[in-house]
Structure formats: structure tokens, C-alpha cells
């Protein structure tokens, strides 16, 4: 690892995640990774709460139509709207992160997410405010999307760029557990609220509780993020001359690295579909279309998410040893093969079968998505890395995940079988597999340039 500048505080610390390996960091790299994880978990908690609420109550509350399918489509459309706003967040926070620093971008994105999420919890419904209610809901949802556009890239970069040699994938994968942890945290709030207060109370007013609790989480997250140091790779990277392209990193990225950018988007496409169809769409589809109890679907998704989290760090450690591509390719092949059986399990309506199928599927997803946190940043140079990694991952999430509930709702309106979800998801995972085959191995990439 290159030496830090002479005016930088420098000390050797024992890094618990690195099994005692000496690292040059103040604070320790493990603390930075933990701070990234906390913030990402909170952001995805907010996002997961909205996704679950859109599947359960937001349709009739904000888009009453007398037709359950139309109300669900409208609610999922607002879910997709946030993904359309994510590219704006990539441009905004990518520019801030590549020009002014990773930490500053992360603090601002978390503040924006907190304001938008608490705002949703305070909104009047259509019954109270008429058309103003869905307009405000969509506006706040768009702000959530802008925030998420800057979150992922900054979180994984802050962790990866503080990482000791040979453990970059391991450290970058720590905030990568944030989406699943955020979903589990949202389930830990929503399930007791449903069970204690009942479905009627939840539909009428208690759905606001998970949104309002975000206030406490965001305050904690902001405190954690403001206590960590800026990325040493960012501070050492040579600044580009102040040209128009340098002031707009996305333009430079498209001019210099278009091939890697589009292949990177494709590499993350299939995994995004698996994630959002499992933890968002199926929570609505299972109970409404197949008569599966709501708690069964939430439990299956929660157990599967927990299994994916358990595999995240071992998969990343393996990627540090043998390379990113072998681990990701294994996960991609597994997702292609398992997609149809996973969603076919819904036809059984059996809690154990569904939970087992979802657990296998989300563990295969962990093989794809754990190393991607290091893989995508390694495709781009330091001063374009925030923008490059964020653009690839966020556009993959938008195309593969944001529209997945909408596409799935349309598909199931024409073919009334959960098998269609498997064929749709398997096709996207096959595309990811082909993109991974076209990209190079990046494990030995020099990260300071």
C-alpha cells in the first residue's frame, strides 16, 4: 500500500476483520466498513419499508380504484418511480463524491433519505387530501430515489478504499449486506406491528410507524458517518485539471469507459431482479393471487435474507483469494438454474417449501452480489470510481429491479402461473452471466489510480 502523505496521522492498528493483519488507517478499516454498513442498512430499511408498504397498503390508501390489481399497479409504479430518479442521484452524488469526497456525499444522501421517508409517514391519504396525497407521495418517493442513487457507490468505496491489501472484496462486501439487513430490520418492525395491532389497524394508520421510526435510525446513521475519515485513495488520487469534463465525471466516464460501464450494468442486472421480486413483489403476489398467508411470505423472505447475509463475507473472502469472476459466475449459473424452481415453490403454498426455495435462491444471489461491491469499482480509475460504480449498479437496479414488480404484475395478468416469474428472472440472470464472461478479472487491479 502506498505511504500516506507526511502530514497525515498514521498508525498501525490491529484489524479484527483482517484477522490481525496490520493496516494503515485512522480510524481502523473495520470501523469505516461498519460505518458504511450502518448507513446503507438505514437507507435500505427506508427503501424496504416503502416496498413492503406498497405491497400491503399504499395502493388502496393513495390510489383507490375499486380494483385491487389497478391499485397494486399504481403503488408499484410509485415504487418504480424512485428507480427512475436514481440516475439523477448518481449524477449529483457521483459528482460530489468524485470531486469533493466520498464521506460528504454519503452524509448528504442519508439526510435526504431520512427527510423523504419520515415525510411519507406523515402524509395524508387520498381519503383526506384527494389528488394531493398521491402527488406528495410520488414527490417524496422521487427524493428517496435520488438519495439511493448516491448511497451504494459511496458506501462500498469508503469501505474498499480503506481496506488493507488482499482484503478489498471482504471490506467492500460489508456494506453490501445492508440491503438484506435493511429488509430484515423493516420486517422486524412490520411483522410485530401487524401481529399486535392487526391488519385493519395496520391498513388504517399503523403503516406509518415504520416510516416514522426512521427518524431515530437516521440520527444514529449521521452520527456514525460523520465520525469516519475520508477515503485515503481519494485524497491521494491526482486531481484532474478543471475542464468541463472533469467537472462532469459522467461525461468523462461515457467517453473513456463506455464498454466497461454497459457490461457492468449487465453483470448486476439479474441479481437485482432476484432481490426485488423476492422481497417486494412476492409479498403482494403470494397472498393476493395464491392465497399464501402474509406471514409465510415475510418469513420466507426474511429467512432467505438472513442466509444470504451469512454467506456474504465468506463469499467475499473467497473472491479475494481466487478472484471476483469465479465466485460471481458460480452465483450467476446457480441463479439461472434455480430461478424457475424458486418461484415454482409458490404453487405448493407450503411454508417450508417456499422458505427453503427462497433461502437457496438468496444464497446464490449472495455469491453474485457479494464480490460485485469490489468488482464494479475496480473497473474504473479512482477519480471516476464513485460515478462509474454507482452508475453501473444503480442502472442495473433500475432496469432489473425497479421495474421488476411492474413487469411481473403485467406478466401474471396474462399468464396466471408463478413459473413466469422464474423464466423472466432466469433470462435476466443469463444476461448477467454473459456480461461477466465478457469482463476481465479485477482482483489485482491497482486501486490508487
**Separation between Cα atoms, residue 260 and residue 379, nearest integer Å:** 7
**Separation between Cα atoms, residue 313 and residue 399, nearest integer Å:** 27
**Separation between Cα atoms, residue 179 and residue 182, nearest integer Å:** 5
Residue of higher predicted confidence among 255 and 31: 255
Q: Which pLDDT does position 164 carry in this prediction?
A: 86
Q: Tell me the average pLDDT across 400-415.
A: 82
Does residue 221 register a pLDDT over 50? yes
State pLDDT tens for residues 427-440: 999 999 999 999 99
Q: DSSP assignment, residue 347?
A: G
**Separation between Cα atoms, residue 22 and residue 30, nearest integer Å:** 12
- Model confidence at 16, pLDDT cuts 50, 70, 90, reads very low
- Model confidence at 68, pLDDT cuts 50, 70, 90, reads low
Does residue 239 register a pLDDT over 70? no
- Model confidence at 246, pLDDT cuts 50, 70, 90, reads low
Does residue 158 register a pLDDT over 50? yes
- Model confidence at 238, pLDDT cuts 50, 70, 90, reads low
Report the chain's mean pLDDT, rounded to a whole number.
83
Does residue 26 register a pLDDT over 90? no
Residue of higher predicted confidence among 262 and 18: 262
Q: Which pLDDT does position 262 carry in this prediction?
A: 95
Q: Which pLDDT does position 12 carry in this prediction?
A: 35
Q: Residue 202 contacts by C-beta under 8 Å, 6 or more apart in sequence?
A: 56, 57, 193, 194
Task: List phi, psi (to 5°) of 362.
Answer: -75, -25
Per-position b or e across 406-435, b if 16+ CB within 10 A of its CB? bbbbeebeeeeebebbbebbbebbbbbbeb
**DSSP, residue by residue, 120-174:** HHT---HHHHTTHHHHHHHHHHHHHHHHHHHHHHHHHHHHHHTPPTT-HHHHHHH
Q: Which pLDDT does position 11 carry in this prediction?
A: 37
Does residue 305 register a pLDDT over 70? yes
Q: Which pLDDT does position 442 carry in this prediction?
A: 92
Q: Which segment, 34-48, 58-72, 151-165, 356-370, is predicted with the most confidence on average?
A: 356-370
Q: Which pLDDT does position 325 carry in this prediction?
A: 96
**Separation between Cα atoms, residue 5 and residue 13, nearest integer Å:** 18
Helix (H) or strand (E) holding 14: strand 12-14
Q: Which segment, 54-68, 80-94, 125-139, 348-362, is predicted with the most confidence on average?
A: 348-362
**Separation between Cα atoms, residue 54 and residue 65, nearest integer Å:** 15
Among 7-11, 109-113, 124-128, 374-378, name the one with the lowest average pLDDT. Answer: 7-11
Q: Which pLDDT does position 336 carry in this prediction?
A: 96
**Separation between Cα atoms, residue 393 and residue 140, nearest integer Å:** 22
Q: Which pLDDT does position 4 carry in this prediction?
A: 37
Q: Tell me the average pLDDT across 202-231.
A: 85
Does residue 311 register a pLDDT over 70? yes
State pLDDT tens for residues 169-190: 999 999 888 888 888 888 889 8
Does residue 48 register a pLDDT over 60? yes
Q: Looking at the whole model, is its pTM more than 0.85?
A: no
Q: Which segment, 33-37, 38-42, 418-422, is predicted with the most confidence on average?
A: 418-422
Beta bridge partners of 24: 12
- Model confidence at 237, pLDDT cuts 50, 70, 90, reads low
Amino acid at each position: 500500500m502506498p505511504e500516506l502523505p507526511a502530514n497525515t496521522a498514521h498508525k498501525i492498528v490491529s484489524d479484527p476483520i483482517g484477522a490481525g493483519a496490520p493496516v494503515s488507517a485512522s480510524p481502523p478499516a473495520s470501523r469505516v466498513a461498519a460505518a458504511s454498513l450502518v448507513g446503507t442498512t438505514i437507507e435500505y430499511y427506508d427503501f424496504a419499508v416503502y416496498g413492503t408498504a406498497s405491497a400491503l397498503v399504499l395502493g388502496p390508501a393513495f390510489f383507490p380504484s375499486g380494483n385491487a390489481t389497478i391499485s397494486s399497479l399504481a403503488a408499484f409504479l410509485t415504487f418504480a418511480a424512485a428507480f427512475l430518479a436514481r440516475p439523477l442521484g448518481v449524477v449529483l452524488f457521483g459528482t460530489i463524491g468524485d470531486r469533493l469526497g466520498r464521506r460528504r456525499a454519503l452524509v448528504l444522501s442519508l439526510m435526504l433519505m431520512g427527510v423523504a421517508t419520515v415525510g411519507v409517514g406523515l402524509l395524508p391519504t387520498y381519503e383526506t387530501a384527494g389528488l394531493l396525497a398521491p402527488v406528495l407521495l410520488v414527490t417524496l418517493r422521487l427524493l428517496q430515489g435520488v438519495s439511493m442513487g448516491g448511497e451504494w457507490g459511496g458506501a462500498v468505496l469508503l469501505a474498499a478504499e480503506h481496506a488493507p491489501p488482499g482484503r478489498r472484496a471482504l471490506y467492500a462486501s460489508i456494506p453490501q449486506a445492508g440491503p438484506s439487513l435493511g429488509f430484515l430490520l423493516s420486517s422486524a418492525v412490520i411483522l410485530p406491528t401487524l401481529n399486535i395491532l392487526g391488519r385493519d389497524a395496520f391498513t388504517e394508520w399503523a403503516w406509518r410507524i415504520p416510516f416514522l421510526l426512521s427518524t431515530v435510525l437516521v440520527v444514529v446513521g449521521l452520527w456514525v458517518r460523520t465520525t469516519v475519515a475520508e477515503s485515503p485513495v481519494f485524497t491521494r488520487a491526482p486531481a484532474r485539471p478543471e475542464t468541463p469534463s472533469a467537472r462532469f465525471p459522467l461525461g468523462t466516464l461515457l467517453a473513456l469507459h463506455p464498454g466497461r460501464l454497459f457490461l457492468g450494468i449487465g453483470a448486476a442486472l439479474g441479481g437485482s431482479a432476484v432481490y426485488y421480486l423476492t422481497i417486494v413483489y412476492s409479498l403482494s403476489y403470494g397472498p393476493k393471487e395464491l392465497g399464501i398467508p402474509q406471514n409465510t411470505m415475510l418469513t420466507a423472505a426474511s429467512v432467505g435474507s438472513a442466509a444470504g447475509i451469512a454467506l456474504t463475507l465468506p463469499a467475499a473472502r473467497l473472491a479475494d483469494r481466487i478472484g471476483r469472476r469465479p465466485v460471481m459466475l458460480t452465483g450467476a449459473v446457480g441463479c439461472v438454474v434455480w430461478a424457475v424452481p424458486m418461484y415454482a415453490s409458490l404453487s405448493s403454498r407450503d411454508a417450508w417449501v417456499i422458505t427453503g426455495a427462497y433461502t437457496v435462491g438468496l444464497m446464490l444471489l449472495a455469491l453474485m452480489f457479494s464480490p460485485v461491491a469490489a468488482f464494479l469499482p475496480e473497473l474504473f480509475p479512482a477519480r471516476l470510481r464513485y460515478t462509474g460504480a454507482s452508475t453501473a449498479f444503480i442502472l442495473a437496479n433500475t432496469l432489473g429491479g425497479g421495474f421488476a414488480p411492474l413487469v411481473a404484475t403485467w406478466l401474471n395478468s396474462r399468464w396466471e402461473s408463478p413459473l413466469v416469474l422464474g423464466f423472466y428472472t432466469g433470462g435476466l440472470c443469463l444476461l448477467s452471466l454473459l456480461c461477466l464472461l465478457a469482463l476481465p478479472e479485477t482482483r489485482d487491479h491497482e486501486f490508487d489510480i
